[in-house]
Amino acid sequence: MVTIAGQAVHRQLAIGRLWYLSKTHPELLRAQAEDTDAELRAFRAAKEEVVGRLHELYRESVPKVGELLAHTFEIHAMMVEDEAYTNMVESMIAGEKATAAYAVAATGRHYAQMLEQMEDPYFRSRSEDIREITDRLTDMLLRNRSEVKLAKPVILMAENLAPGETMQLDHSRILGIVTHYGSENSHAAILARTMNLPAITGVAIRDEWDGREAVLDGENGLLIVDPDEKTLAVYREKILARAKEEEELRSLLPLPAETKSGVHVPLLANVGSAADAAAAAEKGAEGIGLLRTEFLCLAGTEYPSEEQQTETYRSVLATMQGKPVTIRTFDLGADKRASYLDWPEETNPDLGFRAIRISLAEEGPFRAQLRAILRASAYGDVRVLYPMISAEWEIRRIDEIFREERRNLLEQGVSVGDVKQGIMIETPAAAVVCDRLAPYVNFFSIGTNDLTQYLLAADRRNPYVAPYYDTHHEAVMRTIEAVVKTAHEHGVTVGVCGELAADVTVTQTLLRMGVDDLSMAPNSLLKVKRSVRECE
Ligand code: PEP
Ligand code: MG
């Protein structure tokens, strides 16, 4: 038995077999095929199998991440079946007597390089897709399948998981996540919490653990490989106790989120997809406080269209049945990089081209998103939230654009609802000048994840400065208190939507400061409701 200490990401427990998700593929050497016909048959069979699997992945993903994201698998299937691509692979096999695996790898490399050199960022981004389908085909040909059918759910080990990859995990096959790189406040970690997957990070992964039994203790940030019977018994007991606690929490579902003195505190959910909204509704969310729309951009090959977005927002509204839905405009950048955007390498991505800065620089996609939000607003209570505001001119310009788009839609006879506008308070600048920003908006939403990193100059994704990323730091608390006070003086409501909203050790403090609502991962709603009900 070995116990490795890491950092807790999501405080849940799991027992199961470890499964190593290796992203490296063996370098394919140029080998002379002995039987060209056999290689051609192998390529055609692999192609058929990969296309079948991609269609299957598409069908499996729709209920999990929604039509928009799942569509990527269909695009990949089309690419595998592309005539020019197939001809090139087959002529290498037939003409140059290459093995099928080599021909696929070489053709993939050729297309990827060609696309990378193109001017248009859209085509450049497609090189990633070419690499992905090439990997699938070579894995299939070499039977080194990265995506095996798992007989039983497993604990996934990986060096690193990007937000897009985390989102695509099959929940029913994953018991938990162990990564080497990452941190508690990265977006991949936030997604793991939203999906309610036990997770730890900071563990130096060893591939020889693949297939071994393990305990993932997300509470204490531990990975125990080859646990002995005594340890297993202790953890089985803990898992049972957890299940019992969850059962008790479920009994709070019909009760109001009210303090002992009768103050109602709306408890809202943070979600990244229509599927998450269903989990939020199940846990009794009184609305969506934060729809992280940028996740709609991460798995695709281009910005989601206005129609696709309208559909997604409408489906979240339908799930929430009349409850308010706060749609945050794309918060791309930093660790949320969409492959099709033409970004230069940044020295400090968190201080770089992010969120509203991208939206104001690329007005086309921003206007399309606002139109989608406005169109959806005819079907429910929609609010729009702008991320990363740091200056008054930004909100003034946003307000102009918003009004223009609203007017245009009305002129075209499109019905739109009364959409309230709000801003994230997540830069120290916004917190300091929030009195100047207040006249433009109806609400503030404090993003404590970023606010903490910027106030304390401690990168939220860097495990080496984790001790400096102190979410309870007096600077953070005083800033929240000051923002609430100023906002209320200007008739603006204030919610907290960072991870601090789910921290029950500060519920009482936040309510005492006058915070109007709290928004969190769906899985934390009942725990926070219990805490609110215990407040005076
Ligand atoms: C935040 O910064 O607190 C926030 C809610 O936004 P995100 O975590 O998506 O950056
Ligand atoms: Mg943020």
Name the residues annotated as catalytic: 187, 497
pLDDT value of position 147 = 47
Identify which of 355, 376, 264, 248 has the alpha carbon closest to the alpha carbon of residue 310.
376
Ligand 1 closest atom vs CA 448: 3
Q: Which of 206, 227, 248 is the last residue of a domain?
A: 248
Question: 390 near 334, Cβ under 8 Å?
Answer: no
Co-location of 256 and 241 in the same domain:
no
Rounded CA-CA distance 27/32 in Å is 16
Co-location of 275 and 415 in the same domain:
yes
Co-location of 244 and 256 in the same domain:
no
Give tens-digit pLDDT for 358-376.
999 999 999 999 999 999 9
Q: What is the CATH number of the domain that holds 80?
A: 1.10.274.10
Identify which of 506, 526, 533 has the alpha carbon closest to the alpha carbon of residue 259.
533
Residue nearest (by alpha carbon) to ligand 1 atom 4: 447
Q: Read off the DSSP letter of residue 26.
A: P
Q: What is the CATH number of the domain that holds 371?
A: 3.20.20.60
Q: How many CA atoms lie within 13 A of 419 on its CB side?
A: 29
Co-location of 208 and 312 in the same domain:
no
Q: Please, what is the average pLDDT of the chain?
A: 90
Co-location of 368 and 335 in the same domain:
yes
pLDDT value of position 299 = 67
Ligand 1: residue of 449, 454, 460 to mutate (most ligand atoms within 8 A of CB) is 449
- The reply to whether 27 falls in a domain is no
Q: Which of 201, 231, 248 is the last residue of a domain?
A: 248
Co-location of 79 and 159 in the same domain:
no
Co-location of 6 and 97 in the same domain:
no
82: number of Cβ within 10 Å: 12
Does 327 have pLDDT greater than 50? yes
**Residue 37 neighbours by CB under 8 Å, 6+ apart:** none
Co-location of 7 and 50 in the same domain:
no
- The reply to whether 29 falls in a domain is no
pLDDT value of position 519 = 98
Identify which of 386, 283, 359, 304 has the alpha carbon closest to the alpha carbon of residue 65.
304
Task: Output 168 or 406, whichever has higher pLDDT.
Answer: 406
Give tens-digit pLDDT for 448-486.
999 999 999 999 988 889 899 999 999 999 999 999 999
Does 82 have pLDDT greater than 70? yes
Give tens-digit pLDDT for 18-64.
988 765 544 455 667 788 999 999 999 999 999 998 898 888 777 76
Rounded CA-CA distance 105/279 in Å is 41
- The reply to whether 11 falls in a domain is yes
pLDDT value of position 121 = 65
Does 301 have pLDDT greater than 70? yes
* Euclidean distance between the first and the last CA atom of the chain, given in angstroms as a whole number: 47
* Domain coverage including residue 67: 36-142
Q: Which of 124, 142, 160 is the last residue of a domain?
A: 142
Phi/psi region, residue 410 (left: phi>0; alpha: psi -120 to 50; beta: rest), is alpha
Co-location of 154 and 8 in the same domain:
yes
Q: State the alpha helices, DSSP H only, in 30-99.
A: 36-65, 67-80, 83-96
Question: 345 near 352, Cβ under 8 Å?
Answer: no
- The reply to whether 30 falls in a domain is no
d(CA 335, ligand 2 centre) in Å:
11
Co-location of 209 and 114 in the same domain:
no
Here the tokens at position 499 are 């991870």
Confidence of residue 350 (pLDDT cuts 50, 70, 90): very high
Rounded CA-CA distance 493/504 in Å is 21
β-sheet bridge partners, residue 517: 495
Co-location of 89 and 167 in the same domain:
no
- The reply to whether 492 falls in a domain is yes
Confidence of residue 340 (pLDDT cuts 50, 70, 90): confident
pTM of the predicted protein model: 0.74
pLDDT value of position 145 = 46
How many structural domains compose the chain? 3
Question: 153 near 16, Cβ under 8 Å?
Answer: yes
Rounded CA-CA distance 297/332 in Å is 8
Closest listed ligand to the CA of 190: 1
Co-location of 125 and 173 in the same domain:
no
Q: What is the CATH number of the domain that holds 154?
A: 3.50.30.10
